[in-house]
Structure 1
Amino acid sequence: MKLIIGLGNPGKEYENTRHNVGFEVIEKIAKDNEVDFEFNKKLNAEIAKISRLNLEMGQKSHTKRPAILAKPQTFVNKSGEAVKKLKLFYKTTPKDIVVIHDDLDIEFGNFKLSFAKDSGGHRGVQSVIDHLKTNKFWRLRVGTANRKLSTARQQRTLKQKKDAVGGFVLAKFTPAEQAELKKVIKKTLERLAQTF
């Protein structure tokens, strides 16, 4: 069984922000598989169970393998707490976990699927690594970098830089970016379908 986890911040104010791109991808998978999320208090996550995972839009399930979709309701930087609970509860191994998250080192419109990599400075991913005590899990890294991020990174002081980058990841996608993001999500699902 695959445990597919989208990282994001809970709450309406964080919807459609760059840091919540993991939630957007996981919600698309749930929609395509016609399942709904339910909050599990014990696991502190919204959960959707899929008996036959379908990652290819408009086609029948390509696998008989079941999957659990999860949206941790911790904030991004504490995602590891919920991921550890999910792993133990569903008795999965790290190699059966896919974490989907935003990535500031990848240009918007692109993504990378990687295995056993370090966090790259992403505090949510570092939290997962710390709680699982391994980096041997899959990551679908969805690019969010653009010119605004480049400007934010050029601030003079470390505090200004942190504030500017923090503001960038918590900013909402523009309508044009939202339209492009739909295409990116479609490509990410095609890539997951080829891999799993």
Structure 2
Amino acid sequence: MSTWLLVGLGNPGPTYASHRHNVGYRVVDELARRAGVRFTGAAQLRAEVAQTRLTASGMGGVGAEAEKVVLLKSRTYMNESGAAVGKALGYYRIPPENLVVVHDELDLDFGRLRLKFGGGDNGHNGLKSIRRSIGTGEFFRARFGVGRPQGRQDPADYVLSPFPASLAEDLAVEVDRCADAVEALLTVGLDAAQGRFNS
């Protein structure tokens, strides 16, 4: 059975936890919660990792058909995310085509989600770092829409600011939906998962 690496992008530490840039962390946290596993530090990978298995019934499944899944949150800052991802792919012997990266996306409105394989980094520093580290952009992405800032706010400042409190309930729903989409990607494949979740 194949092994998957599911990476949530974000910045480490409580200062950044509520920021738009950290929705990737939130999604892999939700996947870990579903599996009943906890993240632990892996100093050699510069990351926090959790391991589980996945079946058609979801995270934490058991049985001969269960696929191994490694969940990862880098302990580096966003623009150095590739270091942890590259080390993890090598350590667990996972090919780039079994990598799924969950990240915030300025070019999608909040509440929109896109699953895709390959493509550019669209100015996202985490994706740039991963591409640079592993030498390819041919991996899966789950793009979580955060929308663009209103007026003249710098996009960099915008993603490093919290979601408004008024979106708290909607945010929880969208994080849950993105976790569903990642599970579907692994269990039914990209085309079917796109048909269900891309908006």
Q: Same fold (TM over 0.5)?
A: yes
CA positional deviation for 1:54: 7.5
1:51 counterpart residue number: 53
Whole-angstrom distance in 2 between the partners of 1:193 and 1:41: 27
CA positional deviation for 1:185: 1.7
Whole-angstrom distance in 1 between the partners of 2:57 and 2:100: 13
Superposition TM-score, scaled by structure 1 size: 0.87
Rate the CA distance shift 1:60–1:86 in 2: closer, same or farther, 3 A: closer
1:172 counterpart residue number: 162
CA positional deviation for 1:141: 0.7
Rate the CA distance shift 1:5–1:195 in 2: closer, same or farther, 3 A: same
**Mapped contact 1:152–1:168 kept (Cα < 8 A):** no
Rate the CA distance shift 1:174–1:193 in 2: closer, same or farther, 3 A: same
Identical aligned residues as a percent: 31
1:97 counterpart residue number: 99
Report how many residues are paired: 183
2:4 is equivalent to residue 2 of structure 1: yes
2:42 is equivalent to residue 40 of structure 1: yes
Q: Provide structure 1 residue ranges, at least 5 long, that are not aligned to the other structure.
A: 154-163
1:145 counterpart residue number: 147
**Mapped contact 1:3–1:97 kept (Cα < 8 A):** yes
**Mapped contact 1:79–1:127 kept (Cα < 8 A):** yes
**Mapped contact 1:53–1:67 kept (Cα < 8 A):** no
1:187 counterpart residue number: 177
Rate the CA distance shift 1:104–1:23 in 2: closer, same or farther, 3 A: same
Rate the CA distance shift 1:60–1:87 in 2: closer, same or farther, 3 A: closer
1:160 counterpart residue number: none
RMSD: 2.0
CA positional deviation for 1:193: 2.6
Q: After TM superposition, list the pairs within 5 Å mapping 1:70-109 onto structure 2.
A: 70-109=72-111
